[in-house]
Structure 1
Amino acid sequence: MEIVVWSPWIAGLAIGLFVIFHFWLMGKPAGCSTGYGNFCGLIFKKVEYFRVGEYSNLNNSRLWFLIGIPFGGFLSTLSSPEPWHFSFDMGMYDTIFPQTDAGRAIWLILGGALLGFGARLAGACTTGHALVGGAMLNPPSLLAGTIFFVSAFITTRLLFGT
């Protein structure tokens, strides 16, 4: 069975158009980290770190944007010609992750929590800084995007030596 993959330039153009369309439609830049913070704020209501004024309730666009990401992935799996199955198969990361499913789940949850904390601390996630802030030529976002990609490159070199 052949897997159909979008051409990178079409995918990049689609992401760029989405960023522009989102800003035009919502009047705000796209980004997931605020939605993540809002979600955590709904769970941990007493933690000041997660309270963000108008965004601390269910009726905000960034929270719905965050919910839409896994929903879009679910719709994609429904349209896939191959049957969907739950798996912790991580490809090349299998060599560095623990071998048990419980161990992998712990690492993935810990990594996701650290990613969310870091995005909140940096004021935005990679989407907010690199895509939206980069498109607006915002100097702090350009610096943050550069740091994200350089640290990812260095981490990959350290983990895999390639």
Structure 2
Amino acid sequence: MESLVNPLSGGIIIGLTAAAYLLLTGKVIGISGILAQALFSKDRYLPFLFILGLIIGGSAYGVLTQQTVPFPEMRSPILLIISGLLVGYGTRLGSGCTSGHGVCGISRLSPRSLVATGIFMTMAILTVFITK
């Protein structure tokens, strides 16, 4: 039962945050959209606070629970940059990222989000299968 506390509480917090963001801004939550707003919008305050909260919240959890996430292997910086650009392009092409489609889109039963999340998951499984 104890092993369910962290995922369950994390899911509840994500759901409450998504609902609060929708009520405050009228927009669905999605990291790629929030990052774009923080970088390119005139109204940067709330998106910036959201990103800052992600960084502080994750860091505080790691410090308080003394948990670290080990990096399994080092990757080429060029490979990381290319991968990041491809992910960014994909989020624009797919009109959102996994967090936006997966958390908010599925909860609204959006057909586009159901398809996008299915494709995300299929490609992730396929990528792991091919690379491992």
TM-score interval, smaller chain: 0.7 to 0.9
Q: Tell me the residue number matched to 1:90.
A: 71
1:128 aligns with 2:100: yes
Aligned counterparts, 1:13-162, within 5 A: 13-38=12-37, 41=40, 56-57=41-42, 59-81=44-66, 89-91=70-72, 94=73, 98=75, 103=76, 105-160=77-132
SS of residue paired to 2:17: helix
Q: 1:33 touches 1:125 (CA, 8 Å); kept in 2?
A: yes
Distance in 2 (CA, whole Å) between partners of 1:22 and 1:57 is: 18
Compared CA separation, residues 40 and 24, structure 1 to 2 (3 A): closer
Q: Which runs of no fewer than 5 residues in structure 2 stay unpaired? A: none
What's the CA shift for 1:150? 0.9
Distance 1:141 1:60 in 2: 27
CA distance in 1, matches of 2:48, 2:96: 14
Whole-angstrom CA distance in 2 between matches of 1:120 and 1:12:
25
Deviation per CA, 1:1-35: give whole Å up to 9, x if none. xxx98442332233222222222233221111123
Give me the TM-score of the superposition, normalised by structure 2. 0.76
Kept after mapping to 1: 8 A contact 2:101/2:114: yes
1:20-58 deviation line (CA, Å, top 9, x unaligned): 2222233221111123334554xxxxxxxxxxxxxx235
What letter is aligned with 1:113? Answer: L
1:79-111 deviations in whole A, cap 9, x for unaligned?
A: 3446x8xx9x522xx3xx54xxxx2x3333332
What does residue 49 of structure 1 align with? none
Q: Percent identity?
A: 29
Aligned CA distance change for structure 1 residues 66 and 116 (closer, same or farther; 3 Å): farther
Distance in 2 between the 1:141 and 1:28 partners?
Answer: 15
List gaps (5 residues or longer) in structure 1. Answer: 42-55
Cα RMSD (Å) of the superposition? 2.8
The structure that is helix-richer by fraction is 2
- Count of residues in Structure 1 that have an aligned counterpart in Structure 2: 130
User: Which amino acid is 1:8 matched to?
Assistant: P
Q: Which has the larger radius of gyration?
A: 1
1:22·1:28 contact (CA, 8 Å) conserved in 2?
yes
